Every structure is written in structure tokens, then in C-alpha cells.
Chain A
Amino acid sequence: MRGRTRTRNIYLIPYMLWIVLFVIAPIVLIIYYSMFNIDGAWSLENYKRFFTPVYLSMTLRSFWYAGLITGFSLLIAYPTAYLLTKTEHKQLWLLLIILPSWINLLLKIYAFIGILGFYGPVNSFLDIIGVGTRQILFTDFSFIFVAVYIFIPYMILPIFNALEELNPSLVAAARDLGASSWATFRRVVFPLTFNGVKAGCRAVFIPALSLFMITRLIAGNRVITLGTAIEQHFLVTQDWGMGSTIAVFLIIAMGLTMILTETGKKVN
């Protein structure tokens, strides 16, 4: 018995090493660096600075954009997932939806620069139908659009799984008891797949909080989020202390989101 637990502990070693080196140590380092001001002196100045309007509005903006991205993803993903469960070749359709998420993020973003650019196919099309070419890249629209495109598979998957797990006789029972298809959706289908919705929102909202590649390349840094700010502090202003402080708040925000979207104990 003891021998078996010992071998199990041996298996745990790589995992523990990984956790310590790549999760715990970085967090400790971030907290440590956040305690130094730009001159390398120990202080809590950075934390004070975070609560100035510049950083607070940046935080608010990050939440706002992450919220928009999550909201639009959900609006598109729920009906898509619902239709997917009704199609004949579910697994094939699901694969086609997941497929783009296997392609490198940067590649996809560069592709969008080409597509949405001033001389890209979208503008050519707008020109032909008489709307005229316009600035599409470097706008809020293009930022949200590309971000939603990138995140949508992560929203569809958990919702699809929740819909698949839903017992079809519950839907039949609701109809049988006099509920229209809309009432059935509102009173039975949505509440029973809400855990999937929460899991999807978590999978989209948390990474959306710290986006910086899309903000730079698609939104042309016109949208400054916490992710952008961290990158700028580390690479441009060399203010590692402030960058770390923002990262600390980002970690706290992620933790809070995790708690808020806690799926709780499973019903059914």
C-alpha cells in the first residue's frame, strides 16, 4: 500500500516541478517586482499609481471590451451550438468550427490585416456595391470582430456539450405541459445549459482581459487595455514595477471572474 503511494508520488514530480517553476515562481516574481518603483527603490508607489484615473479608466476599458467580446461571442455561439446539436453530422461540423483554433493566432491576425486593410477584398467589395472604401482596420469594430472570431470556438464547445447532455425528454415534457418552443427554451433549455454558458464566458472573458496582440495589430493600439499596458511597461518604458503591478491586478480580476462564473455542483 505504502509502495503504491510512493510510486504515485514519483509520478507527481514532473507536475509539481512544472507548477512551481512556471506558475508559482512567476506569480511570486511578479508580486516581488511590483514592489519596486522605476528607480529600483522598494515602495508601494505603483499600487498608489494604479488607482489614478489613467489606470482605472484603462481597467474599465479592458473590462468593457472583454465584456463586449464575450457578449457577442455568446450571441453567435449559443444559436450555433444549438443548431449543431440538431444537425446530422455533428462531429464533422464541430471539427470545422474547432479547426481554425489550431492555426497560429498571429497568422490569423495577419490574414485579417490583409482582408480588412484599405486595399483588401472587403473594401474592394464595398467599393463595387457603391458604399465606397473606408477605414475598417484600426477601429473598435475590427477589434471586436477579430477577437470574437478568435474566441468563438471556446464559447461554442462548452455550450455544445451542455446542450448534448440535456435530456431530450425534458424538452418533450415542457412542450407536453403546454410550453411554446420559446417558453421551453427560456424555462428549461437555457437554465439547464447555463453552466455551459458560464464555462464559455469564463473561457472567453479571462483571456480577453489581457489581449494585446489584437489591440496592437488590428486596433492599431487605439484601444489600450491592461494587456497592452503591461507589454508597453515591460518593453517600451522599462518600468517593470508598474507592469508587474498591473499584472497583479489582472490576476486578481481573473480570480474574481473564476469565482463569479463558478459552475457550482452539477445538477442532473
Chain B
Amino acid sequence: MPEETIIRFENITKQYDNDPPVLTDVSFELERGKFYTLLGPSGCGKTTIIRLIAGFVQPTTGAIYFDEQEISNIPPDKRRVNTIFQDYALFPHLNVFENVAFGLRVKRMKPDMIKAKVREALRFVNLEGLENRGITGMSGGQQQRVAVARAIVNEPEVLLLDEPLSALDLKLRSEMQYELRELQKNLGITFVFVTHDQEEALALSDEVFVLNSGVIQQRGTPNDIYDEPVNKFVADFIGESNIIPGIMINDYLVEFVGNQFECVDQGFYPNEPAEIVIRPEDLEITGKDQGKLQVRVDSQLFRGVHYEICCYDKDGNEWLVHSTRKVTVGDEIGLDFGPEDIHVMRLGETEDEFDRRLESYEEVRHAG
């Protein structure tokens, strides 16, 4: 539905001088009221995307639309978006109240209105009563909340968050993750969240965009991306995976490590080379000479919720297993998995081609 689209990127390329482009021909649409995450390693172009939305940089080619109006060359102060910066960028010469009031003051709002709105924003982030505190003495978590209050007090339609949790310690970070998700639900506005932390992305988002070297590799719900990665990069970046070369013999039949297995994938040419993904938690440990694979345990690490077990098969392929069961290093064990645990990836397939293939056999299924 077009009226739900709030931001649209149309063939955006961004290049600085003669360096290789930071973003290459990126197109996407963001819908109103959803939580989006841009996920990728550093230098993948994710921060450039939100800087483009905020207006700090202009696209080299292509156009950005906000509410179907082109905004590519509109300065940041004229855009209805606000940003939470990685270092929070709180004004050190102003106290908490004045930091939050900044956006309202430059809009020349009446002082009593400002007072009421700032109070409300601070209540929203649980910072009531700290109006007169200086910024420099505050903890990271508190500064984070001030930055959130300073942004939302302007009632933006889109909130951009540039790795806002990366400076916090682990416990505070997971706490703030809940708060941010809660905040987004309460405000009902679009969040565009940038992170390199895949767990954070999976936990928070309605939709995740996985980026690498200036190209969107895959977009989808956290479940889609985790269960059906489109290529090796996504499979490797999101969670841990066993990725092994194989051959797609036929629809529903794949061969790897010298055996043929039943699977749920289709739409390949007969005997097409492919890559097989099996998540470590989908491998089940069975006794020796049972299960579908025979491996020898090489090492074992206790990770708290599970053991991380590293095994090798007779061909020398590494198999990573996550299990709550403890094994003995050096033992021969069997590994078992079901057809739906196997995900087969076509070599060099783009996201569009992947979607088209998925659609084509959905149709086949409906027709049959």
C-alpha cells in the first residue's frame, strides 16, 4: 500500500571522490511504524544510509523520497526525522533540560509549552527530576536516555539510531534493547536502527536489512533471514552456521559428504552445485553408528546455555554443534538432522533471484 511507505530509496549510489562507492544502486521502501534494522560489518554502508536519510550527505546518483516527496537535497534541519548518534552528541554546555529543549527552542516554541513537552519527554525515558543536571557527570545509560528524549520531543516521523547501544556494557545494553523496542511500540513511529550486532538485530526488528560492501544482501523478518539466508555471507554473519559444498541432485534431494539426503528445497537444475547450511543447534547428537553423519569430537566449550562442540568428519569437514548434552573429546559420535534443517543456497544467487525462485515453486505447489 503506497500510503504506508514513508521513505523510499531509488537507485541510490554514494561515492566519495574516486574511492569505490560506499553504496551501489540501493533501492528500498520503509513503511510507517515499523522497526527496521540495518545490519552489517563496519564499512558496509549502513551508517551512510541513515546519514542520507538524515540529510548529512547527499546521494551521488538516485533519489530519496519522504512521503513521496523528493528530499535528496533538502538540508537536515528541514527534514522530519531525528537522529540518535553513536556518541549521543549531547551538548556539553547545556544541562539536561536545555539539551532536550534544544529542538523546541530553535523552533521558537512558547517557553511554557517547551517546559511541558520537555517534562513529558523526560518522564517517557524515566529521567524525571534530573532537568538541572549537567551532561558530563551522567552515566552512559543516562546520556543515552537524554539523547532519546532530545530526539522524540520533536515528534519525528522517523527516528534514526546510529549504533546507539555500542558504548554500553552488556547488561545495560540488553536492558536498553527492551526499552527501545517498547518505546517504538508506544510512539508508533518508524525506527531505523543501525548495528553490527546480529543478536540485537534479530531481537528488535520487524525487518532486517543485511548489508555488505554497499549492497543489500538480504531483507526480511528476523526469522526469514535466520532460516533462509540467501548466500554464504548472510548465513555466516547471522548466527553460526555449518556451510558445506554439495550438489543438488534433484528437487528435494541433495548430496553432500558423500551421501544423499532428503531436503525441502527445489527450483535448481539437476546436479547443480550448491552450498548447504545447517545451523549448529539443528544438529542432534546420537550414539556412534547412529544418525546421518559420523564425526569425531575435536573440542568442546561451555557457553552457559549450551556446549559448543567442534567435530570433524572423515573428509575433514568441520561441524559445529550446539547441544545441552556434554560429550567426551576424542569420541566418535553420530549427528542427526531432519530434511527441514537443511537449507540449500544456490551459488552467487542475488536476493531478487532467490525471491523469484521461492515464488515460482510456491506457485507450483499451489498449482499442484
A residues in contact (CB < 8 Å) with B:
167, 169-170, 172-180, 183, 187-188, 191-192, 267-268
Contacts and interface: CB of A to CB of B under 8 A. Distances in A.
Given A175-B76, A178-B154, A267-B136, A183 B91 contact: no
Contact of A173 (B55, B89, B93): B89
B121 to A, nearest CB: 13
B338 interface: no
B82 A192 contact: no
- Scoring A167, A177, A180 by chain B CB atoms within 10 A of each residue's CB, the highest score goes to A177
Given A173-B91, A175-B75, A268 B136 contact: yes
Contacts of B105: 187
A177 B106 contact: yes
Given A187-B106, A268-B92, A268-B136, A176 B87 contact: no
A183 B106 contact: yes
12 contacts: A170-B91, A172-B83, A175-B55, A175-B77, A176-B76, A179-B77, A187-B102, A187-B106, A191-B93, A192-B92, A267-B136, A268-B136
- Scoring A172, A176, A192 by chain B CB atoms within 10 A of each residue's CB, the highest score goes to A176
Size band of the B side of the interface?
20 to 34
A169 B89 contact: yes
B356 to A, nearest CB: 39
B91 A188 contact: yes
A167 B86 CA distance: 12
A267 B56 CA distance: 26
Nearest to A174: B102
Nearest to B162: A169
Contacts of A191: 93
B150 interface: yes
Contacts of B89: 167, 169-170, 172-173
Contacts of B76: 172, 175-176
A173 B84 CA distance: 8
A175 B77 CA distance: 5
A172 B56 contact: yes
Contacts of A183: 106
Contact of B83 (A173, A187, A268): A173
A180 B77 contact: yes
Interface in B35-92: 54-56, 75-77, 81-83, 85-87, 89-92
A176 B151 CA distance: 9
A187 B93 CA distance: 10
B110 interface: no
B136 A176 contact: no
Nearest to A168: B89
Contacts of B366: none
B345 to A, nearest CB: 39
A6 to B, nearest CB: 39
Contacts of A167: 87, 89
B325 interface: no
A165 to B, nearest CB: 11
Contacts of B103: 177-179
Given A172-B56, A172-B85, A183-B106, A178 B92 contact: no
Interface string B103-115: 1011100000000
A169 B85 contact: yes
A73 to B, nearest CB: 24
Given A176-B82, A178-B103, 12 more contacts: A172-B54, A172-B76, A173-B89, A175-B77, A176-B83, A178-B154, A179-B103, A179-B106, A187-B102, A192-B91, A267-B92, A268-B136
A-B residue pairs, 6 tightest by C-beta: A177-B103, A173-B89, A169-B89, A175-B76, A179-B106, A268-B92
Contacts of B56: 172, 175-176
Nearest to A171: B89
A166 to B, nearest CB: 10
Contacts of A177: 77, 82, 102-103, 106, 150-151, 154
Given A178-B103, A188-B91, A173 B85 contact: yes
A172 B76 CA distance: 8
B91 to A, nearest CB: 6
Contacts of A175: 55-56, 75-77
A16 to B, nearest CB: 37
B86 to A, nearest CB: 8
